[in-house]
Amino acid sequence: MNTRRLTAILAIPFGLFFTTAGAQDLNNIKFTVTEAEEWSKLFTRSSGWFGGDGIYTIPLSGVESKTTSKKDKTLFIFSDSMLGEIADGKLQPGSKMIHNSVAILEGKEPVASKMNFSWALKDGKPESVFIPKTPNTGPTDYYWLGDGFVNQELNNAVYIFGYRVKTVSDGTFGFSEVGNTLIKIAADQKPPFDTYEQKDTPFYLDKSTGETGSYGAGIYVNTAKAGAPQPDGYIYIYGVKGQAKKLLVARVLPKEFEDYSKWTFFDGTNWQANMHKAATITDQ
């Protein structure tokens, strides 16, 4: 994101409500969207962290399909994030954009005193929490973040997809994704996560495949431990490709999540091992 064109990046959650119950006509879905004002206020800030995009939440209990309790904590992850001061609606000197940041919310209510934002420091100055350092990383690569989850079958480690991105021009969209990485954070680590593992994955589609794309845009933990209503024991990982964001899906058992040879991809009929045979399940 070009900082010269950036005035602020606001995180504004919305409520999504379907107007009819039961099965939906997928060609004519009817719904309404209303702002959840109490959540918007949680992110309306003028000091320290005051904006971020690419927002995901990860329940640190590992339970994704049940109501959060007062004792539970939720990890928020952000991609490009703004830090500094705003006075009279204007950015003050010294404000800085970093490429990712995190926050922890204690409990289930949007209470400002329960939300703690974190970022790294380098020589006393703000720095991104996650910085790519894998064998395939280029000298100017940085991370934008995909979805993540707590893997209860692998010591409750937090897994987050990291998209390796590099700047290619000064234009508004002067960036390009160049690789896909898996970030692993041990359960005992606290923000800003001084220690974490990262490794390249094969789940990036480059131009040689026809359309660029990547897996990790969404994760569904369809397990009993995660509270899924109809568990089949698999982790479903969604990807997108092309400008139309055509949707792809892979799956793997939680205990085999780091073994890329165990991943299978839906080809429209069956689950098979060749990522390049994955079918697009939506095309817009």
State pLDDT tens for residues 93-113.
999 999 999 999 999 999 999
Q: Are 162 and 183 in contact (CB under 8 A)?
A: yes
Sign of the C-alpha dihedral, residues 245, 246, 247, 250?
negative
Number of domains present in the structure of the chain:
2
Model confidence at 25: pLDDT above 50: yes
Alpha carbon distance 133, 217 (integer Å): 21
- Tell me which of 137, 170, 201 is where a domain ends: 201
Q: Are residues 64 and 191 in the same domain?
A: yes
Band of residue 175 on the pLDDT scale cut at 50, 70, 90: confident
pLDDT of 1 reads 35
Distances in Å between the Cα of 125 and the Cα atoms of 80, 94, 119, 275 are 16, 10, 10, 41
Q: What is the number of helices (H) and of strands (E) in the chain? A: 1, 22
Band of residue 153 on the pLDDT scale cut at 50, 70, 90: very high
Model confidence at 4: pLDDT above 50: no
pLDDT of 22 reads 56
Alpha carbon distance 178, 132 (integer Å): 12
Mind listing the pLDDT tens digit for each residue in 178-210?
999 999 999 999 999 999 999 999 999 998 888
65-95 as b/e: b if 16+ CB within 10 A: eeebeeebebbbbbbbbbbbebeeeebeeeb
Q: Are 141 and 179 in contact (CB under 8 A)?
A: yes
Q: Are residues 56 and 95 in the same domain?
A: yes
Q: Which two tokens stand for residue 141?
A: 């690569």
Model confidence at 40: pLDDT above 50: yes
> Number of C-alpha atoms within 13 angstroms, CB side, residue 23?
1
Q: Are residues 71 and 133 in the same domain?
A: yes
226 compared with 23, residue with greater pLDDT: 226
- How far from the centroid of its chain's Cα atoms is residue 155's Cα? 21
Least Cα distance to 226 among 106, 66, 74, 68 occurs for: 66
- Tell me which of 201, 222, 246 is where a domain ends: 201
Q: Are residues 54 and 98 in the same domain?
A: yes
Model confidence at 24: pLDDT above 80: no
Q: Are residues 86 and 136 in the same domain?
A: yes
Largest CA distance in the chain: 57
Q: Are residues 68 and 162 in the same domain?
A: yes
Q: Are residues 60 and 173 in the same domain?
A: yes
Q: Give the residue numbers spanning the domain of 257.
A: 204-284
CB atoms within 10 A of CB 280: 20
Q: Are residues 51 and 110 in the same domain?
A: yes
Model confidence at 8: pLDDT above 50: no
Model confidence at 2: pLDDT above 70: no
Q: Are 83 and 98 in contact (CB under 8 A)?
A: yes
Q: Are residues 221 and 276 in the same domain?
A: yes
pLDDT of 135 reads 97
- Tell me which of 139, 174, 201 is where a domain ends: 201
Identify residue 64 by its one-letter amino acid code. Answer: E
Q: Are residues 32 and 117 in the same domain?
A: yes
Q: Are 93 and 57 in contact (CB under 8 A)?
A: no
Q: Are residues 245 and 106 in the same domain?
A: no
Task: Specify the residue for token string 């970093």.
Answer: 98
Q: Are 115 and 107 in contact (CB under 8 A)?
A: no
Average pLDDT for residues 259-274, to the nearest whole number? Answer: 97
Q: Are residues 138 and 211 in the same domain?
A: no
pLDDT of 168 reads 81
